[in-house]
Structure 1
């Protein structure tokens, strides 16, 4: 029998998606052309919402003690400490560390990661896809019900699927280097200097990451042509500090090229992460949005493989995540212009500094950067939380007196119907989920703190932590939400549902 899914790309997004699928009971395998993890660290942290996604699967604690960082929008500082919600991001976690943690997790889940296996093509069949690859033993084929390209900005899967990747070409570039013994002054959110911008912060164990935007220095098209001497010369010219004595661990460059896939799905083929969106790095959003792509797609694809996905469920991946990608393109382009242009932009920066002093403006910009302002269309309902995520740190008291948190309820990647004693007609609410078996876990508990707008008397959570229904909306709307996201069923396992064959 064909596998449930094949994931192409063993970066953070592909690994996260494979774990999500396995938690959903799907037979999944990851293919990657590299012989092992690259060891590179383009990303050096993740946003608050990405941290919450990791926490929802019990993964955040594996990162150990992390540094929670303040944020900015295009270099304009936002005081997260004055905001009601927690927008602090994680800084100083190199991408290879994230990949190590996720691959260890996949090992525990029994998901194979096949390295030195380069996918070269695929063809669709009436009930799945056949993937062609070149591996250590030569040419081979593998089959699955679905294929997901998490293979980066130059995605072969996207190209083979015929999905356009429109956007804007490069207008400026940046250099980065990881250095040992640099002794550089820390500039964690960057500093404007004559001719550009410089940034420096400790990455780990005495390794400093520097980033330079030099208006007079253009990144070469071929990154193998990069020379640290040019970067060190530029740093000295712009700051008066010498880096020439430092030991170089890694150098790279990037531009402000901004593109988004026209579609995230073509038949049985899906895209996630950098295969769907590339942009100038700003606030660790790139990898973080990709991790959220994985959390959104994983349970839906598992539902389709397991045969109970309601009609149109798979199409909601694109309808929910494509607008998020559009906003990502907009906000990173705005930040690039605010951050990297010259003195002619200073009046706008001054206005932005005034705006972020206003609580409502600060909340809006912080939500953009942190990712916790994402709201999906859940259909009818009146609760202010509808479509937003429920904060995973809220504590609950179970019937046996033990405490738990929202995040812990979501560890199995299942839906959760939480009902407290403050809800009206609790028996009817709990009965609405009868027959949904393993799809939705019902939990009776009390909030450790009083019921408020942020802690509803009863709430239905999707596996990705977003609120699909909340009291005081009634049982009829709850039943509609359950059927929309979890289908219908009888008995412990539920009745398999037909899956629409919608494409783009």
Structure 2
């Protein structure tokens, strides 16, 4: 059997990539070794830039279970268990979508089925070879078979078979000092402050939800996720090894060591699945390459972080959106030079930023009086608006900037397009509603629609680029050209762009879309 793209892995990143390819007119095949979607509790939500991205594919309301666009967290957040006062910022980049990973998978499976995609559950890749195409050997529930595909994408996790079979190294750092324990529990209703939602620990004091606490003996967090029992977690260093099954008694003892106080807790209500786990050590690794010939890696197959599943999930979904349209352009035969290679450059940059974030936070929550001195200094720095902005942007991924090859361009070029509302003949529309087809988009808010006129006259532009003329609510941006992943390749703030600006628009369209 021949197909254009085989995606290995039916988790969030693999399913998101399959949906992106489908929107671009490509029909990939998804292979997942598990017999059905996993219900194992993993990441607990999406954070930052990726929340905007799922909104721009029409998935936010499905995932959130509520109507309306995403709203920023404008009060507080945490960096290494230190408070980030987001009220210091004019616009917070911290957007949080609390939703368990298994629900994200459910929604993406539903979307994939709507798009007519095939997902083969219980099919495991056991061989990969490349020539002018990729040969993939697969073991299914009833048979072994072979596929020929133009491209293979590994979205099969930290222990990626695709990565290993393709000979791509996975260098990084293994941390063996930490032990993280997590459990879904019930706590006495009298322990919860009805006004703040804080958990009162007798002998220690209040612990606000979703705000990790650090002591000289470790870390503690309390997360009452909507629709689920509260999740409590501890982090300790240099714990003795054990092979005993994790238990609530072990969770209670760990909390006592960390906080110096006992927290009354019991098993959670309901049938679950519930978290009750112990993780010893961890890895922070980034693949040597995100692609090798016709094989590409996304998500945990390309990068993992000792801080847990959340950062990897956020980055993995954005890997998928970055790679999808580029791979589709290659398959359709109209890619501009270097387009597919830019996946490696851009997403490795984002992964390295997250490595810095994860390692810095790990260092700042470690035990020790010297770390305490460093935290005291950071606490002072966190009273500075610019410091808070920089850390908030780092956490959210809003600091990611791609080189679009246009020196001295508009400040938005290379950055994720901000949300905006525009007025069209059919009413007011958000930018997120204009991007759901995953096509390049020119949004022209100029007085004379000169950007749209300039681009519609360019050879082939209409075949690839969606052109919308409208009136905007802001004068900061009057025209903007977006890639399908919502990153800006050209922008203007002129009511009537100059001839030089319009020439730059045509060059940017040709550089990224071959138009």
Q: Which residue of the other structure, out of 419, 434, 438, is the alignment partner of 1:413?
A: 438
| 1:132 and 2:137 matched | yes
Deviations 1:280-305 (A, max 9, x none): 22793221011111110010011111
Q: Does the 8 A contact of 2:290 with 2:296 survive in 1?
A: yes
User: Which stretch shows the higher mean deviation, 189-198 or 257-266?
Assistant: 189-198
- Distance in 2 between residues matched to 1:325 and 1:132, nearest whole Å: 30
Match of 1:156 in 2: 161
Looking at structure 2, the residues matched to 194 and 255 of structure 1 have their Cα atoms a distance apart, in angstroms, of 19
1:229 to partner: Cα distance: 3.4
Which residue of 487, 495, 502 corresponds with 1:466? 487
By how many angstroms is 1:75 displaced? 1.6
Q: What is the rounded CA distance, in whole Å, between the counterparts of 2:181 and 2:457 in structure 1?
A: 54
**TM norm structure 2:** 0.88
Gaps of 5+ in 2: 192-198, 200-207
Cα distance, 1:226 vs structure 2 = 3.9
Matches within 5 A, 1:83-482: 83-126=89-132, 128-183=133-188, 185=199, 187-217=209-239, 225-239=245-259, 240-242=261-263, 245-247=266-268, 249-252=274-277, 253=279, 255-281=281-307, 284-380=310-406, 381-392=408-419, 394-398=420-424, 400-422=425-447, 425-426=450-451, 428-447=453-472, 449-452=473-476, 456-471=477-492, 472=497, 474-482=501-509
Q: Give, in whole Å, the separation in 2 of the partners of 1:375 and 1:76.
A: 26
Gaps in structure 1 of 5+ consecutive residues: 489-504
Normalised by the length of structure 1, the TM-score is 0.89
SS at match of 2:403: coil
How big is each residue's C-alpha offset from its partner over 1:295-343, in whole Å with a ceiling of 9 and x where there is no partner? 1001001111111111211000001111111111111001011123333
- Inter-partner Cα distance in structure 2 for 1:151 and 1:228: 31
SS state at 2:251 partner: helix
Q: Does residue 75 of structure 1 match 2:81?
A: yes
In 1: Cα distance, 2:233 partner to 2:452 partner: 58
Instruction: Report the alpha carbon displacement of residue 228 of structure 1 after superposing the two structures with TM.
Output: 4.3
Q: Secondary structure at the match of 1:338?
A: helix
Structure 1 residue 233 displacement after superposition: 2.0
SS at match of 2:175: coil
| SS of equivalent residue, structure 2 residue 128 | strand
Contact 1:433 1:440 in 2 (8 A): no
**Is the contact made by 2:481 and 2:491 (CA closer than 8 Å) also made in structure 1?**
yes
Aligned to 2:205: none
- TM superposition shift of 1:77: 1.7
By how many angstroms is 1:80 displaced?
2.4
Corresponding residue for 1:7? 7
The 8 Å contact of residues 286 and 351 in structure 2, kept in 1 or not, is answered as yes
Which whole-Å CA distance do the structure 1 matches of 2:363 and 2:448 have between them? 49
Q: 1:296 to 1:242 in 2, by over 3 A?
A: same
Aligned residue number for residue 202 of structure 2 = none
Q: Is the 8 Å Cα contact of residues 258 and 278 (structure 1) preserved in structure 2?
A: yes
Count of residues in correspondence between the two structures: 479
Write the mapping of 1:14-93 to structure 2, written as runs, cut at 5 A. 14-63=14-63, 64-65=65-66, 69=73, 70-93=76-99
- Partner deviation per Cα, 1:330-372 (whole Å, 9 max, x = no partner): 1100101112333321221122122222222111111000111
What's the secondary structure of 1:295's corresponding residue? helix
Deviation at 1:430, TM superposition (A): 3.2
Q: 1:283 to 1:161 in 2, by over 3 A?
A: closer
* Aligned residues: CA RMSD: 2.3
Paired residues of 1:154 and 1:275 also in contact (CA < 8 A): yes
* Local SS of the residue matching 1:204: coil
Q: State the alpha-carbon separation in 2 of the partners of residues 151 and 225 from structure 1.
A: 27
